[in-house]
Amino acid sequence: AAEPGLAATGFMLTLDTRSDRADLVAVVRLLLTWGVLTRVAGDEDAYLSAGADVLYDVRRPVLGALLTGSRGPSTITARAFEARLAELTAEPVAETDELRNQALRRTLTRRLLDEPVVYYDELTEDERAYLVAQRHNITGRISEATGLLPELRAEGIAMVDPDDELTDVRMPEQRTDGHVTLLLAEYLAGRARAPRGELLAFVRRAAQAHAGYWRKGVTDPGAETELLDIALEKLTGLRLVDIDIEVTRDGTGTVIRGRPAIARFALAEPTIREPGSSPGRQTRKATAHAASTIF
């Protein structure tokens, strides 16, 4: 109410009048609709007519997911949706080195929390330099606040959820779709790129090999298309692959390229020690495999 810009227009909100209370009730009911508030006691009509109190619970997980910005929507002049959204979320320009470092720290912390993997080659030069220099400090604060564990690699950083509570796309996952995704990740981990047709053939072979364990219908003609699409949706969501359109002399086709983090799902032959042998006398068995954790 004391904001000079509002006072200059003659705007006042004292909640002493019914019209003022009606404005507040409209806001509260919107928050109730969104699930931010839950009514505990009383109702808005009683507040509106007599000023009676109403008690609410605040659902902070919902509140934390709402779109917020440094600018009020009423200050935005753009008309097109994308332009309005850009103005709403635009960060103020930092004028000092300290403010610029703070802005970089906030931006990088958000990305590490929001994205499964943050690759260095996708950052600006300033972001990359700051993250490389401060990665232990930034990831340490995130770990302390959330329990996520950092994987620091040459290509980037992934914050891993050891309790599997903060992700909506899991890898690995059980059942048919999860097994297809894991097999596809293993296949792509050993290749720089693979045409979509090659992956469809791979899924068809896998369906035949695992038909006794997967859901019914996986060996039907065309079933591999759905299985592949589900798997690729998971892998792209986890930043493990990119899907590109490639033009060759034979025409245009879809190509899937593995990102560095997909190497975590590569398989390799383990070194197995024979019973009674010393650690120095080990042989390799082609019948067993172990997962590589290189990324």
Tell me the per-residue pLDDT of 189-226, one tens digit each, with 9 for 90 and over: 988 889 999 999 999 999 999 988 999 998 999 999 99
What is the per-residue pLDDT for 84? 86
How many other β-carbons are positioned within 10 Å of the β-carbon of residue 139?
A: 22
Percentage of the chain beyond pLDDT 70 is: 90
Instruction: Say how far apart CA 153 and CA 294 lie, in whole Å.
Output: 9
Q: 292, 268 in Cβ contact below 8 A?
A: yes
- If you average pLDDT over residues 78-88, what whole number do you get? 86
List of residues 6+ apart from 34 with CB closer than 8 A: 62, 66
**Type of residue found at 17:** T
Beta bridge partner(s), residue 285: none
Instruction: Say how far apart CA 57 and CA 37 lie, in whole Å.
Output: 6
What is the per-residue pLDDT for 290? 32
Q: How confident is the model at residue 251 (pLDDT cuts 50, 70, 90)?
A: low
- If you average pLDDT over residues 72-80, what whole number do you get? 82
Write down all domains in the chain, each with its CATH number in brackets. Answer: 4-65 (no CATH), 75-166 (no CATH), 175-268 (1.10.10.10)
Does residue 154 surpass a pLDDT of 60? yes
Strand order in 118-119's β-sheet? 118-119, 156-160, 149-152
Q: 25, 44 in Cβ contact below 8 A?
A: yes
What is the per-residue pLDDT for 292? 31
List of residues 6+ apart from 191 with CB closer than 8 A: 258
What is the per-residue pLDDT for 92? 73
Does residue 21 surpass a pLDDT of 90? no
Q: Which of 203-217, 239-253, 273-287 has the highest mean pLDDT?
A: 203-217
The token duo for 1 is 């109410």
Question: DSSP alpha helices (H): ranges in the chain?
Answer: 4-8, 18-34, 44-50, 60-65, 81-89, 97-114, 125-146, 175-189, 196-209, 223-237
Taking the whole predicted model, whether its pTM rises above 0.75 is answered as: no
Handedness of CA 160, 163, 168, 172 (dihedral sign): positive
How many other β-carbons are positioned within 10 Å of the β-carbon of residue 131?
A: 23
Mean of the per-residue pLDDT values of the chain:
84
